Amino acid sequence: MTEQMTIGLDGEITAQNRIRRRQSNEYHSRVFTDRPPYADYDAPHKFMAIQAIVAKRLVEHPHAICSYSGGSDSDIMIDVVERARALFNLPPVKYVFFNTGLEMKATKDHVKATAEKYGVEIEVIRPKVNIVLATRRYGVPFVSKIMSAGLEEWQKKGVPLSIADEYAEAENKAAKRVELSRRYPKCESLINFLCCCNRAGDPRPNIQLVINSSKYMLDFLKQNPPEFKISARCCDYCKKQIAHRVQNGYEMIITGERRDEGGMRSVPRQGEANSAMCFAETSNGQYRLRPLYYVSDKDKAWYRDYYAIRYSDAYEVYGLTRTGCCGCPISYKAVADLEMIRPYEPNVVKAAWNIFGNSYRYRQQYNAYKARRDAQKRRDNIHGQITFDELIGGTPCHCE
């Protein structure tokens, strides 16, 4: 594959995608509309393109650091990078593993085994503020990072949830938004979060940055206010801040993010030029390479089978489908996953419940609330349906 082809693969927004975006009435973020051509290749050809991209970027930016988590995405990523290095005789990449203080033995053992497999060093980095201290000091995550950040600000600033009703009932929403800003200064993002609007007062009920991005959340909080602190800062202190410190000074940062993981990884990054691509320049002048960004779950399965990649025991023995931060309540499967690993790592399960138990129980309460609301809505719809007799003008029959 020539360099010219590679540049086209990972660095250019195709005219066809732009035309497709203009012609379609369906909204897609730039991550979808500006995707490079190789994103639509079949798995074998897609990984050929990715390998060429990795090689090209390592030639341009050889002083590179790569975060390795011990998860399945990281296993595919390190294999791709090391194959590219061997094929093109490229300089070594610095690998790091961030130990939050709550890690499965399966993950830690797999990190060691992976380093031996590829003949590389994977440095284990521990934070100064581990996950226990961070959650005690700031709070525990709930539902998502966005929801956790919004609820943390709500708990700190004490803005009443009733402002959402004020905004919803206002005829002039722009004027109401201005009035709320004056009443609650320095609460711009919180007002937007609670009222599901933007700063101009325009309703934005269907985006990820508002409280009702999680179904019935506002009503649930009104009826069941949390009795514990909510925050996602454990991620900041145990991973993000330490990662920024360790990555400082490197030309290029390599991560295993994939668009198919959803959440904030499925939208363009702020502060990055050309952030819809797998390669981008960050605001501080470093470069970020996400070689797997447009790799689907199906592509990943093909690569695993073709190259006989063995994941950690967390997948192969315990049966998990995803690891991430062990026990993190942001995963809707956190409690179920803990039960899967209990026979193998009971101490980790006990520790996770001690750290995140309040969030697990509150999530269960929220799920039950959603189920009741959905059931009530179905009943209301049934009772609200017109009967056949009413349709033909006969005697109404209201059957229970």
Q: What's 309-339 look like in SS3?
A: CCCCHHHHCCCCCCCCCCCCCCCCCHHHHHH
- pLDDT by residue for the chain (400 residues), tens digit each? 333 334 344 444 444 444 444 455 554 555 556 678 899 999 999 999 999 999 999 999 999 999 999 999 999 999 999 999 999 999 999 999 999 889 999 999 999 999 999 999 999 999 888 899 999 999 999 999 999 999 999 999 999 999 999 999 999 999 999 999 999 999 999 999 999 999 999 999 888 899 999 999 999 999 999 999 999 999 888 888 888 999 998 999 999 999 877 544 444 444 444 444 688 888 888 999 999 999 999 999 999 999 999 999 999 999 999 887 889 999 999 999 999 999 999 999 999 999 999 999 999 999 999 999 999 999 888 876 654 445 445 544 444 3
Among residues 191, 190, 143, 149, the alpha carbon closest in space to that of 166 is found at: 191
Two structure tokens written together for 179: 């009035």
Among residues 155, 148, 330, the alpha carbon closest in space to that of 227 is found at: 155
Among residues 326, 335, 324, the alpha carbon closest in space to that of 365 is found at: 335
What are the residue ranges spanned by the domains of the chain? 3-131+235-309, 143-223
User: Are the C-beta atoms of residues 287 and 295 closer than 8 Å to each other?
Assistant: no
CATH pick for 3-131+235-309 out of 3.90.1170.30, 3.40.50.620, 3.30.429.10, 3.30.70.1380: 3.40.50.620
388-394, long-range: CB < 8 A, 24+ apart: none
Name the one residue in this structure whose structure tokens are 């990523």: 77
Kindly tell me the sign of the dihedral angle through the C-alpha atoms of 249, 254, 259, 260: negative
Two structure tokens written together for 143: 């539902």
Dmax (CA) for the chain in angstroms is 85
- Residue 138 backbone zone (phi > 0: left; psi -120 to 50: alpha; other: beta): alpha
Q: Which helix (H) or strand (E) holds 252?
A: strand 252-254
Helix axes 43-60, 3-11, angle to 10 degrees: 100
User: Are the C-beta atoms of residues 196 and 211 closer than 8 Å to each other?
Assistant: yes
User: Are the C-beta atoms of residues 345 and 106 closer than 8 Å to each other?
Assistant: yes
Q: What would the DSSP string read from start to end of 17-83? A: HHHHHHH--S---HHHHT--GGGGS-HHHHHHHHHHHHHHHHHH--SEEEE--SSHHHHHHHHHHHH
